[in-house]
Chain A
Amino acid sequence: MNGNHGTNHLDAEPVDGDTRYGPDDRIAISLTVNGEKVEAAVSPRLLLSDFLRGDLGLTGTHVGCEHGVCGACTVHLDGVPARSCLTMAVQVDGMEVRTVEGLAGSDGTLHPVQRAFRECHGLQCGFCTPGFLMAVTHLVENEELAETDDGVRAQLAGNLCRCTGYMGIVAATRRAAAEIASKG
């Protein structure tokens, strides 16, 4: 979204074309969020990030740039990291969505990535942290962690942090990967 009048070059005029749906229409979607079934009727222009935060109250997912660069809004869609600020709510109909609120166990046991971020000082203000946690969780659960620090940094290069200088985040990623690997 963007509230500027005439100041933003990202702000394109609406294109004529598909006029089947207007902003006041409501489209039924059905999805799973952190293991729970969700049914909703949403405007076709509602962003997934706004749906999660506003409609479902899952405010852990943060919005840092609204143009897909910073990664603060990263969630998992069917197990794959995605920018919820570049995804419309109607696009996730039928999908499984996992957010930062779904990382810890139902008994509150922290995910190894969450623990590692605390232990390695991988966060300061905490605003970008949910996006990093989701990106790193996918990385350590599904991919091979690079052997060199430069390699790990390249694997983390979809998310911006303005506080930490990334050192704690690199260390946390290594620690979480080691813990998950040791548990086979």
Chain B
Amino acid sequence: MSTRQFGARVQRNEDARLITGRGRFVDDLPLDGVLHGAFARSAVARGRITHLDTTAARALPGVHRVYTHADLGELDVTMPLLIPHPCIGHPRTQYPLAHEDVYHVGQAIAFVVADDRYIAEDAARLIEIDYDILPVEVDPAKAALDGAPLVHEDVPNNIAAHLVQVSGDPDAAFAAADHVTRIQVRVDRSTAAPMECLSTAARWDAVSGELTVWDGTQAPIGLRGALSSLFDLDEDKVRVVAPDVGGGFGPKIVFPYSNEILVPFAAKDLRRPVKWVEDRSENFVHMTHERTQIHDIELAATSDGVVLGLRDTFLHDTGSFIPYGIAVAQVASTQIAGPYRIPAIHVTFDCVYTPTVPVTPYRGCGRPQANFAIERAMDQLAAELGIDRFEIRRRNFITPDEFPYTRPDLVFADGLPVTLDSGRYDDALAALEKALDLDAIRAEQEQARAEGRMLGLGLSFYVEGTGLGPYEGAKIRLHPITGKAYVNTGLTAQGQGHETAWAQIVADQIGVRPEDVIVVEGDTGVFDWGVATFASRAAVVSGNAVHIAAVSARARIAQAAANMLEADPDDIELADGRAFVRGTTSRGVTLAEVATMSNPLRYAFNKAAQTATQFAPTARSTGKPLPDGERPGIEVSEYYSPPHATWAYGVHAALVEVDPVTCDIDVKRYVCVHDCGNMINPMIVEGQVAGGVAQGMGGAFYEKLEYDENGVLRNASFMDFLVPYATEVPHIEMIHLETPSPLNPLGIKGVGEAGTIPVGQVIASAVEDALSPLGTPPVRQVPLSPSAIHDLLRQARVNV
């Protein structure tokens, strides 16, 4: 029997092309006669265009067209609100190209198409735009106050959405409490900064009436739906392909961006392929952002640290529009109680418009903020009650025998009440304590303090609802010539290794090598049932769909092989690319032969096919070549729909040293215990976690988008917005727990976002612990830049 592939450290199928320079990113695709686009964008945050003149741009040699909103005809409409919710009282979405009003620096105003990108950019600079500049307020807390400048003049207090959720009886909990802890925390605005910016290419085939769009998206099927609707084309005339995509992390789930309208529109209009690739400076002011939330959180507890109730009221900055609805705020609100039992919850949020780039999910999707709030509050409660930070968490964990644990009326992003399905939170914390060697660390800390060095330990638990529905599917086909398995899903990958993970799942069922399973995704021309890649859902939802399809394929192969070998299907084994009768490996056939023989042929195009033609002696029977109810070949499609989210969790800790002179923070150790259920490929899981932690490090230390008071983004480049290099990310000690999810056949939970969620709290908690002998105030905000550390130290000196 072959070695089991599920759970093995299988090297990736996709790497072969990526390490040899044969990747297929949108800008790498050769398109004969392609024209190049460039956008002219708003230079002001909130303004009214008083003068827009494209004459000089149009006159530049090499320019084919310059489009403004007036040229777009039926496409000159506001883009869809992708996820509506009744609490969105004032939904506003953007036009593909701005009308008179502009709402943020970087909003697209005009689109130039030219012979090459250099000319297109020359032309974009020749477009004359004058504005009446309107007053702005970029701080969401101030923007929500009476009298603040309005982003949309008919939206009072800039409040786009307001939601109140109550689970249990919080008033009773607070009335019964011995102690109440109240803090305010803030997480600042960041951007995903995938290494490949947005990109779109399109070709219109006037003969067939087909529009093909290559796009660096996480949601090709969704984009196909939007383009089909907006362009009024039949679905089968629109093909969206997401080829290799250079990182996603959330913002590429949103559609349609201006480029996703303008590029296909221009290709159709000009009857030439058109391509546009976002440059990095555009990416900062165009691709969606996330993170700014301000939480006022209260915990009602007994004197021994058992939390009875939680109240949280927060502001969520949604930027100038709300195309993805309340997803980020809703996810934050539903994970606010973390891994803790807390039976009574009152959570309220306001989504506030600010004249900035729109906000949609970025890796973590509200969880880093909610986690920062609850975990900072738990640390504060521990300090106020004089209880150890590890111990207070232990006293509040949901225990294994309490699962499934439902938080009634707290509705998650899948429209269902939060129900944590499984976990061993106490074991995870114990594993962390063991890995850290707490006694040794405390001794080391004491020694350091005696030497005047600021050493601190921080920790954070986290939970993550993963694997949201509604469903995903998979198609598996056995190729009759090579015997290789072809697998399609409706998803797309941006580095997560689907081509390998799905291959492992299929290999186990049909007895082939993972490298003989060819996975093709992200192409609506190949498979177009499904949703998209987001919410740590691919392994859970598509992985299980692939598994179910592979089980089904195995059954069909066994039946077909049994017919060929005149054996019982239950006696058929599949291994090494062959089907054989158990115990007699000589009595077998190759999978290619099975695939060929299960497809009645007329034409003998090769030797194997000769045996499958309807004239071959072996195929002769008295019945129809293809009996009623049968299908040709080995091809199956199956679907998986999760009952509700499955909850991953973990706990991270860091040992840091703060230099009180330079305000530099040295992360001396970083330990991560996590549980994503059964792992398909631990190597890939470790890569996901490490990458997540690295992005968390960015958010904890460096990554803050700095809007000035005029709404201009001051650090819109990699020179000024600091993404961590290898020198800024510590080595991560990783411990895997595997508690199978009871919700799906493979026992999987998602892991894509896990690493990012707790890092801000880990660092804040560690820095607070390190500086505590100096009398610094508590840490209430990330990122913790050297300036922020300096402020803490200055306040400590003032307090002395």
The residues of A with any CB-CB pair to B shorter than 8 Å are 1-11, 23, 43, 45-46, 50, 53, 57-67, 69-70, 72, 99-101, 103-104, 110, 114, 117-119, 121, 123-130, 133, 149-150, 152-154, 156-170
Contacts and interface: CB of A to CB of B under 8 A. Distances in A.
A124 B692 CA distance: 12
B493 to A, nearest CB: 8
A121 B690 CA distance: 11
A67 B718 contact: yes
Contacts of B124: 3-5
Contacts of A60: 20-23
Contacts of A159: 725-726
Contacts of B121: 1-3
Nearest to A168: B687
Given A10-B717, A67-B281, A153-B729, 12 more contacts: A1-B121, A7-B43, A8-B716, A60-B22, A70-B195, A70-B280, A121-B686, A124-B691, A125-B245, A127-B25, A160-B718, A165-B693
Interface in B478-506: 494-497
29 contacts: A3-B38, A3-B39, A3-B121, A4-B39, A5-B127, A6-B129, A7-B41, A7-B282, A50-B117, A60-B22, A61-B21, A65-B280, A67-B719, A69-B717, A70-B718, A100-B19, A100-B21, A117-B15, A117-B19, A123-B495, A124-B495, A127-B247, A156-B726, A157-B725, A157-B727, A159-B726, A162-B247, A167-B731, A170-B726
Interface in B680-730: 683-684, 686-687, 689-695, 716-719, 723, 725-727, 729
Nearest to B57: A5
Interface string B176-197: 0000000000000000111111
A10 B281 contact: yes
A150 B730 CA distance: 9
Nearest to B116: A54
Contact of B20 (A11, A110, A167): A110
From B125, B280, B495, residue with most partner A Cβ within 10 Å? B280
Q: Which of A67, A70, A129, A165 has the most CB of B within 10 A?
A: A165
A19 to B, nearest CB: 16
Given A3-B120, A70-B718, A126-B14, A64 B196 contact: yes
Nearest to B34: A54
Given A7-B43, A59-B21, A66 B683 contact: no
A139 to B, nearest CB: 12
B718 A3 contact: no
A64 B247 CA distance: 11
Given A5-B125, A8-B716, A123-B15, A128 B20 contact: no
Contacts of B687: 121, 124, 163-165, 167-168
B409 interface: no
A53 B117 CA distance: 13
A154 B729 CA distance: 11
Contacts of B603: none
Nearest to B281: A8
Given A62-B246, A101-B21, A157-B727, A5 B690 contact: no
B217 interface: no
The 6 closest A-B pairs by CB, nearest first: A60-B21, A127-B246, A126-B18, A125-B495, A165-B690, A124-B495
A172 B342 CA distance: 45
Nearest to B192: A162
A64 B195 contact: yes
B691 A162 contact: yes
Contact of B726 (A9, A61, A123, A166): A166
Nearest to B16: A118
A175 B167 CA distance: 53
A52 B23 CA distance: 15
B247 A125 contact: yes
- Which of A2, A3, A167 has the most B CB atoms < 10 Å from its CB? A3
B445 to A, nearest CB: 22
A2 B279 contact: yes
Contact of A43 (B16, B118, B695): B118
A116 B38 CA distance: 39
B796 interface: no
B690 A168 contact: yes
Contacts of B553: none
Interface centre among B120, B726, B727 (most CB of A within 10 A): B726
Contacts of A6: 41, 43, 129
A123 B719 contact: no
B727 A154 contact: yes
A157 B17 CA distance: 25
Contacts of B691: 124, 162-165
A141 to B, nearest CB: 17
A166 to B, nearest CB: 4
Nearest to B120: A3
Contacts of A165: 687, 689-694, 729, 732, 755
Contacts of A154: 726-727
B695 A162 contact: yes
B790 interface: no
B19 A162 contact: no
A159 B555 CA distance: 48
A62 B117 CA distance: 16
Contacts of A72: 195
Contacts of A43: 118
Nearest to A99: B21
Contacts of B16: 118
Nearest to A45: B118
A64 B280 contact: yes
Given A117-B19, A160-B723, A5 B196 contact: no
B106 A126 contact: no
B244 A125 contact: yes
B415 interface: no
Contacts of B195: 62, 64, 70, 72, 125, 127-128, 160-163
B591 interface: no
A35 B684 CA distance: 36
B27 interface: yes
Given A7-B285, A103-B20, A121 B129 contact: no
Contacts of A168: 687, 690
B617 interface: no
Contacts of A110: 19-20
B42 A7 contact: yes
Contact of A164 (B11, B22, B192, B690): B690
Contacts of A62: 23, 25, 195-196, 246
Nearest to B695: A162
Contacts of B725: 153, 156-160, 166
A57 B21 CA distance: 11
Interface centre among A10, A46, A117, A150 (most CB of B within 10 A): A10
Interface in B196-216: 196-197
A72 B246 CA distance: 11
B639 interface: no
Contacts of A160: 195, 718, 723, 725
Contacts of A121: 12, 683-684, 686-687
Nearest to A160: B723
A114 B12 CA distance: 13
Given A3-B38, A3-B279, A157-B726, A125 B194 contact: yes
A7 B22 contact: no
Nearest to B714: A9
Residue among B19, B121, B129 with the highest chain A CB neighbour number at 10 A: B19
B9 to A, nearest CB: 9
B22 to A, nearest CB: 7
B380 to A, nearest CB: 30
B281 to A, nearest CB: 4
A149 B41 CA distance: 44
B41 to A, nearest CB: 5
B798 to A, nearest CB: 36
A100 B17 CA distance: 11
A110 B497 CA distance: 21
Contact of A126 (B23, B40, B686): B23
